[in-house]
Amino acid sequence: MASQNILSNRPYRAARPSPHAYRLGSTRDDYYFRRGWRNEELERLLEEGEKTCMDPERRREIYVRKQRAIAEEVVNCFIQDPHRIIATRAGVEGLAVYPIYVLDLSNVSSE
């Protein structure tokens, strides 16, 4: 049974992004990402991405085109993320800030 295989052997990659997760809210008109904006090319790419998700190279190409469409039209501009305000004292080195909610301190050192 396929579901038993998934539950028992876990033959999946939880870290691999799936276009299906994005589509849960993206088709609603009141979805935060859509308020006042619509791009027909992006709509087409979203549909195509779902259909070709088994081909990693084609999927990558589609994702790159989707990201470019969003970036070129500056759909959202976040001016502050209060969870990412970081202050350090002089002499702290190796701190890298990434655009995700993880603070990696593995390379941080102090004089």
**pLDDT tens readout for residues 14-32:** 555 555 555 545 556 666 6
Q: Which of 11, 32, 36 lies closest to 22 in space, CA to CA?
A: 32
| 44-89 pLDDT tens trace | 887 787 776 677 788 888 888 888 887 888 766 666 666 667 888 9
The domain segmentation of the chain, as residue ranges, is 2-72
Split at pLDDT 50, 70, 90, the class of 39 is confident
Query: What does the alpha-carbon distance between residue 66 and residue 17 come to, in Å, rounded to a whole number?
Result: 14
pTM of the predicted protein model: 0.45
Name the token pair of 74.
Answer: 């500056």
Q: Please, where are the H alpha helices in the chain?
A: 2-9, 19-26, 40-51, 56-72
